[in-house]
DNA sequence: TAATATTGTAATTTTTAAGATTACAACATC
DNA sequence: GATGTTGTAATCTTAAAAATTACAATATTA
């Protein structure tokens, strides 16, 4: 029923790492740039690490991409970071009456269009890569 | 950043009105069937009325469709009932740093894919009509 | 090896938005 | 005018996201 800011935070983080990864990028630096808490960033980065997208050095700190930006889709990032929330991102009233013929079937009835909407979003997410975002970013800077 | 349950509530209400509209359907009856509060229903119905989808009798109570179910899309319902939340249904961290080159551009950068996702959802919503939902509902009942 | 800087993670608190509730005026019918 | 309904504003409750606190685990370096 909700799509959190985790994906935008993760993409922001990955762009910084892709662009400035030669320097040591810590969770505090990314927290500064994103305007959010370093612990949130560490959790996100941990998930990106588990998904095989990032390398992170514990202790010494610093992160680097493990995959070419061309091969990192928004969908991969989103899925690594917030896997549940797309299925069910459209809210459904949770307690319809079982005794009403409509109430007892409304969930099943709406599941078809809702799944198509989810699939449509997933499709767009799969079309965009980190490389494209970086390219657009650089075009913005002239 | 969120898509509320308003749309599913509105569709549920419209199906009941379409099927049982010959009897007097009050906000209390729909509240019973949906498992939510009658005031919520009244607000939803008021918006559907403003959008020209419903007729409602104040005082005496009861509602009826003003448009043929074939001509009522999920998108029209969604738009009548929760017009804001689709633009921005994907959360973006709100306070990126202005002094960071990435932070200052991340919103503009993500707006392109996000708008495409919104458009994709809108497209699916536009393909479904109330008539189709009712037809599927009746097929469920054999 | 001690000092320092960082990640990893659990537990708790704060904030925010949705939804529920209360209250009552406006309106229609009998 | 008694009853039942919609319309709407104001407030309260609840649930989820995000922030915060705390600290163990790990690596570096002096």
What DSSP letter does each residue of A93-112 carry, written as one string?
A: -S---SSSTTTTTHHHHHHH
pLDDT tens figures, A101-114: 999 999 999 999 99
Two tokens, residue B37: 């509060």
pLDDT > 80? residue B1: no
Of A2 and B43, the one with more pLDDT: B43
- Contacts with B103 from chain A: Cβ below 8 Å: 12, 33-35
Above pLDDT 90, what percent of chain A? Answer: 92
pLDDT > 90? residue A142: no
pLDDT > 80? residue B11: yes
Rounded to an integer, the average pLDDT of B19-40 is 97
Report the mean per-residue pLDDT for chain A. Answer: 96
* The pLDDT of residue A51: 97
From B52's Cα to the closest Cα of chain A, the distance in A is 23
Two tokens, residue A20: 């400035």
Backbone angles phi and psi of B51, in degrees to 5? -80, 0
pLDDT tier at B2 (50, 70, 90 boundaries)? low
**Which residue among A12, A94, A121 places its CB closest to the CB of B121?**
A121
Give, in Å, how far the C1' of D9 lies from the CA of B45: 17
> Cβ–Cβ of A136/B36 closer than 8 Å?
no
Which of B85, B103, B125 best tests the A interface by mutation, with the highest count of A CBs <10 A? B103
Torsion of CA A129, A130, A131, A132, to 10 degrees: 60
> Cβ–Cβ of B1/A5 closer than 8 Å?
yes
Rounded to an integer, the average pLDDT of A76-85 is 93
Above pLDDT 70, what percent of chain A? Answer: 99
pTM for the structure as a whole:
0.94
**Which residue among B5, B8, B97 places its CB closest to the CB of A33?**
B97
Torsion of CA A104, A109, A111, A115, to 10 degrees: 180
Do the beta carbons of residue A141 and residue A131 sit within 8 Å? Answer: no
- Contacts with B95 from chain A: Cβ below 8 Å: 34-36
* The pLDDT of residue B97: 98
User: How would you label A63-76 residue by residue, b for 16+ Cβ within 10 Å and e otherwise?
Assistant: bebeeebeebbbbb
């Amino acid at each position: 029923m909700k799509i959190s800011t985790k994906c935008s935070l993760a993409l922001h983080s990955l762009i910084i790492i892709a662009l400035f990864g030669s320097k040591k990028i810590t969770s505090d630096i990314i927290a500064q740039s994103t305007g959010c808490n370093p612990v949130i960033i560490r959790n996100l980065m941990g998930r990106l690490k588990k998904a095989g997208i990032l390398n992170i050095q514990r202790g010494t700190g610093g992160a680097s991409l493990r995959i070419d930006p061309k091969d990192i889709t928004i969908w991969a990032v989103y899925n690594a970071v917030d896997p549940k929330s797309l299925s069910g991102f459209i809210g459904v009233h949770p307690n319809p009456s079982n005794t009403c013929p409509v109430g007892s079937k409304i969930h099943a009835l709406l599941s078809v269009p809702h799944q198509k909407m989810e699939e449509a979003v997933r499709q767009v997410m799969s079309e965009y890569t980190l490389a494209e975002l970086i390219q657009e970013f650089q075009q913005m800077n002239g």
